Amino acid sequence: MLRQETVEQSLGLNRGEAPTAGRGLAGALGAYVSLTKPRIILLLLITTVPAMIVAQEGMPSAWLVFLTLLGGSLSAGGANAINCYLDKDIDGIMYRTRHRVLPAGRVEPERALLFGIGLGAAGFVLLAVGVNLVSALLATATLGFYVFVYTRWLKRTTAQNIVIGGAAGAMPPVIGWAAVTGGLGWPALAFFAIIFLWTPPHFWALALRYRSDYARAGLPMLPVVRGEKETKRQVLLYSVCLVACSLVLAPVADMGALYVGAALALGAGFIGLAARLWSTPDPRASRALFAYSLVYLAALFVTMGLDELLIS
């Protein structure tokens, strides 16, 4: 699953302002919904549907798409809710996260944990019964990796946390592929590699801006451990690898000229902004790359789906 900090920042949330808690049933429901990080889930779904279209070589049935997205959303929402439970201590320390639901006391931590477990279990059952067992197992394995490997271990122990942990965020298109085909394949691995390589430059562009906040919470993010210069260098290296990988998808998945042209144009913009970040101390460079990275990922996958629909 894509990191909760990245998407929330992209949409202007968690800048230190206190949220409106609301009262009664509506306020309680809103608090639980916020635990699932619905904006993150939206970005995940954008990468799932195009993968399903490529796997089907056309548009899959609306029912299959609906069940896959619903099951994936439940699983991702459960992972995010458990993440909130495990991160409640550092969320209360960091300035931009201290008003989240658990640090603000709007939901009891134990209830948030049970809520997350329940969503994850519901996602597995829905996918296993309504889609196929492979997609259900992949979604549940992703939840476990995100919760136990990334959140519980990597995030607090190594500067490579986002690199290794990015595997969780790279799984939605793989799950989408499995939902259609019942298995895996080279295109699914290429989808995975694209998002896996996209995650570090995307996240580190944000981490550069909030380096002091991460340091305050004692999190070993790359800008804190290795400094800004090394972080910017790695952002550029990963950006070049990302664009190369996006082009490899063309022969692997038999993509057409529309996708290739979009991958080249979008990739040139990504590398250009990464090079600018590397060469200038201007803090606006990190903001520009972070914002563009969201557009890049969405546009690349949407174009992927459109390319397949036009040639099928």
- Going along the chain from its start, the domains and CATH numbers come out as 4-311 (1.10.600.10)
CA distance 279 to 287: 15
Q: Which residue has the tokens 């929402």?
A: 77
Looking at every residue in the chain, the average pLDDT score rounds to: 89
Q: Which two tokens stand for residue 111?
A: 């209830």
Find out whether 194 and 164 touch, Cβ atoms under 8 Å: no
The answer for 108, left when phi > 0, alpha when psi is -120 to 50, beta otherwise, is beta
Percentages of the chain per state (helix, strand, coil), in multiples of 5: 80, 0, 20
- Divide the 312 residues of the chain into consecutive groups of 10 and give the mean pLDDT of each group: 43 39 70 85 88 95 96 94 91 82 88 95 97 97 94 91 90 96 95 96 92 88 93 96 96 94 97 95 91 96 94 70
CA distance 224 to 111: 33
Is the C-alpha dihedral spanning 160, 148, 170, 302 positive or negative?
A: negative
pTM: 0.87
Nearest to 156 by CA among 208, 257, 83, 98: 83
Instruction: State pLDDT tens for residues 26-46.
Output: 777 888 888 888 888 888 889
The pLDDT, as a whole number, for residue 93 is 86
